[in-house]
């Protein structure tokens, strides 16, 4: 049992070397390698105790990364939910997310105006990206 725990812990650390992971991502990865669920739970507890896995920290970093990638709040929310982050954690960190700033940055991209010359097409593009209609109209009004 102890050898198995060491083996699974080493495997987890190798998996974490590439990027941060959520608790659910790690559990899914370890289950894929056919380890016993009791050993997986012990390993996850150890990883959390050493702060190798921290869903709150992951959420903060993911939101910052997504802000640079100009993603909507809705898109970030669903991506984090798919990764297994608790919805209370997500909402806690998305409260400070300024979607209007992201829309403004997207509207200032020259390529967006070249691709979609009509304002209605730009609105539809932003709606498909997950931005709220009210925010889009507000920023468009301020920009013009």
What is the rounded average pLDDT of the residues 39-52?
95
| pLDDT reading at 61 higher than 80 | yes
- The CA-based dihedral angle spanning residues 131, 136, 139, 141, taken in that order and rounded to the nearest 10 degrees: 180
Token pair in block for residue 102: 């992201």
As a whole number of angstroms, the distance between CA 87 and CA 51 comes to 20
Domain 2-49 part of CATH 2.40.50: no
> What confidence score (pLDDT) does residue 1 get?
57
- Tens of pLDDT, residues 82-131: 999 999 999 999 999 999 999 999 988 877 777 777 889 889 999 999 99
Write down the domain spans for the chain: 2-49, 55-94, 99-143
Q: How far is CA 141 from CA 87, 99, 118, in A?
A: 32, 15, 15
pTM above 0.85, yes or no: yes
Per-residue confidence band for 142, with pLDDT thresholds at 50, 70 and 90: confident
């Amino acid at each position: 049992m102890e050898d198995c725990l060491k083996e699974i812990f080493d495997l987890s650390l190798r998996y974490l070397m590439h990027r941060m992971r959520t608790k659910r991502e790690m559990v899914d990865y370890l289950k894929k390698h056919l380890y016993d669920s009791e050993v997986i739970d012990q390993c996850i507890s150890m990883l959390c105790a050493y702060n190798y896995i921290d869903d709150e920290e992951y959420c903060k970093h993911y939101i910052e990364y997504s802000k640079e990638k100009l993603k909507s709040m809705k898109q970030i929310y669903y991506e984090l939910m798919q990764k297994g982050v608790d919805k209370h954690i997500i909402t806690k960190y998305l409260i400070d997310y300024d979607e209007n700033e992201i829309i403004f940055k997207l509207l200032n991209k020259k390529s967006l105006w070249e691709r979609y010359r009509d304002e209605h097409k730009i609105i539809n593009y932003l709606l498909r990206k997950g931005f709220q209609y009210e925010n889009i109209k507000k920023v468009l009004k301020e920009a013009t």
